[in-house]
Amino acid sequence: MLAGPSPEALIGPIAAATTRLRVGSGGVMLPHYSPLKVAETFSALSGLFPGRIDLGVGRASGTDPLTTFALQRDRRTASPDDFPEQLPELLAYLDDALPQDHPFARLAGSLPGRPETPEPWLLGSSPQSARWAGQLGLPYAFADFINPDGAPIADLYREHFVASGRLAEPRVAVAAWSLCAETDEEAAQLASSSRMAMTLLRRGQLIAIPPVDKALAFLEREGKAAPNTRRMVLGAPGTVRDGLTALAQVYSAEEVIIVGITFDHEARRRSYTLIAEAFGLDAARDQP
């Protein structure tokens, strides 16, 4: 619906088509996976593209209840909420730090990409994820497009941060829903597609991203013609540049992740190009 169901399958081709960009998952929803399988996959990617692979993991299902159930291997009962056990196990594989009395201790040191390893990030939108990221010494990516009141949660992460072998100081990225076009009006129109899809998703209806004209008509009927600009950074290049800069300052974030979803692929590509140009980034720098 929004991006792709298999980030691990897309990372390799994207990393192969670039030379300097870090490429990562945003993210791997760990409850759908075996920690060992995730460690093996991202270890292999790190071996192929040294120093360029990020492993973003999250606790949420990332989809609707029916799809969540379909993703389960064992469907006799609902999967347990064992993320607090999954995450340390995953990190132990990556760090080659499984305790000797761990049931899987003999698997230590078996990852295929060594000595290269991915950089793990914890994704979240809640106080609990902030505490986990801080206590484990992980960089933290906060989903502002889900929870637009997350600056205090980012502060909570910093309060709980414990330096680790992988990270000496807290590091925050904020993920923003953002679209850029030649004018503010055009950007607002492009955003209507994702706004319709998300409105229906919150009602339990999973749909493909709709065309702009269909979305505009739907939002008009719903009385939601005006976009919720707090959750979306929309507009012409200057408007978006100022909005993303302000958002980063609110979170004291070192990075901004852009979630830019609209119906037309070329409009989406154009949005990313305009944002890059607004920040003075040269798209040609990273060509092979």
Spatial CB neighbours of 173, under 8 Å, sequence gap ≥ 6: 121, 139, 140, 141, 142, 253, 254, 255, 256, 257
For residue 96, what pLDDT is reported? 92
β 140-143/53-58 pair status: unpaired
- Residue corresponding to tokens 């996959």: 41
Cβ(93)–Cβ(35) below 8 Å: yes
For residue 283, what pLDDT is reported? 59
Q: Does the pTM of the predicted model rise above 0.75?
A: yes
d(C-alpha 85, C-alpha 31), whole Å = 11
SS3 253: coil
For residue 212, what pLDDT is reported? 97
**Per-residue confidence of the chain (288 residues) as pLDDT tens digits?**
667 788 999 999 999 999 999 999 988 989 888 999 999 999 999 999 999 999 999 988 766 677 776 777 777 777 777 889 999 999 999 999 988 888 888 888 889 999 999 999 999 999 999 999 999 999 999 999 889 999 999 999 999 999 999 899 999 999 999 999 999 999 999 999 999 998 898 888 889 999 999 999 999 999 887 766 567 999 999 999 999 999 999 999 999 999 899 999 999 999 999 999 999 987 555 454
User: Which residues are bridge partners to 174 per DSSP?
Assistant: 142, 256
**Residue spans in the chain of domains classed CATH 3.20.20.30:** 1-124
For residue 285, what pLDDT is reported? 55
Backbone torsion region of residue 62, taken as left when φ is above 0, otherwise alpha when ψ lies between -120 and 50, otherwise beta: left
Amino acid present at 123: L
Please tell me the number of Cα atoms within 13 Å of 76 on its side-chain side: 1
- Count helices and strands (H / E) in the chain: 10, 8
Q: Which two tokens stand for residue 219?
A: 């939002």
CATH of domain 1-124: 3.20.20.30
